[in-house]
Amino acid sequence: QVQLQESGPGLVKPSETLSLTCSVSGGSISNYCWNWIRQPAGKRLEWIGRICATGSTNYNPSLESRLTLSLDTSGKQFSLKLTSLTAADTAMYYCAKSVVPAAPFDTWGQGTRVAVSS
Amino acid sequence: DIQMTQSPSSLSASVGDRVTITCRASQDIFTYLSWYQQKPGKAPKLLIYAASRLQDEVPSRFSGSGSGTDFTLTISSFQPADSATYFCQHTYNTARITFGQGTRLEIK
């Protein structure tokens, strides 16, 4: 059974770039789509974007200008880079798996908290 | 964007109660609707997909219904372990997936 584990810096300064990685274990990274979702404290979940094993990507339009998703199949991990951070980017960040783009998110990582502060 | 609106925002239930949470989409999403349960400090867990299909290992007291714009999550007999926040999600527009604002369910 696929398991996901996020890793990241925890604290990032305003205007800097956030880099997060999600490691995949217990299954193949090559057959699915891989999503990023975030949740500010007490607020609803926000889908950030998705990269599929085919190489196709979709980004949330509200983040697209600052966002890059990548996939490392040999390393069994996928990554997020978000530039020009502000306090509004402070949130819990999750990675999640879907079988195809229209499928639900059937497996989630435990999440990694990111705070943007000087 | 497709807006997902849940009601109520919060509710409390006694053990054994039948609980119903609704989710309304701002446009027709057919049955591209999923429900998630989230407990404090934990990642969301998929309960229902395709509006009415029960995810593996989810208790049968959970059920989903609806199509188009109106959907319902029902817990047939509320248990203390069901205290959580519940979110709906559409995947109809795969380039702009959105979630409902959540419904917090507590034990009375």
pLDDT at A73: 84
> How many percent of chain A have pLDDT more than 70?
100
pLDDT at A53: 93
Q: Are A112 and A93 in contact (CB under 8 A)?
A: yes
- Angstrom distance (rounded) from CA A39 to CA A43: 6
Structure tokens of B16? Answer: 């054994």
pLDDT at A47: 98
Q: What is the mean pLDDT of chain A?
A: 96
Instruction: Say if the Cβ atoms of B91 and A104 lie within 8 Å.
Output: yes
Structure tokens of A18? Answer: 């956030």
User: Looking at CA atoms only, how far is residue B94 from chain A in angstroms?
Assistant: 6
- Reported as a pLDDT band with limits 50, 70 and 90, residue A74 is confident
Split chain B (108 residues) into runs of 10 and give each run's mean pLDDT.
Answer: 97 98 98 97 95 98 98 98 98 97 97
Instruction: Say if the Cβ atoms of B98 and A109 lie within 8 Å.
Output: no
Instruction: Say if the Cβ atoms of A106 and B55 lie within 8 Å.
Output: yes
Q: What are phi and psi of A25, to 5 degrees?
A: -135, 160
Chain B residues near residue A106 by CB distance under 8 angstroms: 46, 49, 55
Nearest chain A residue to B96 by CA: give it.
A60
Q: Is B44 exposed, middle or buried (0-12, 13-18, 19+ CB in 10 A)?
A: buried
Nearest chain A residue to B53 by CA: give it.
A104
Q: What is the DSSP string of A76-112?
A: TEEEEEE-S--GGG-EEEEEEEESSTTS---EE---E
Instruction: Say if the Cβ atoms of A110 and B42 lie within 8 Å.
Output: yes
- Angstrom distance (rounded) from CA B3 to CA B1: 6
Is the pLDDT at A31 greater than 90, yes or no? no
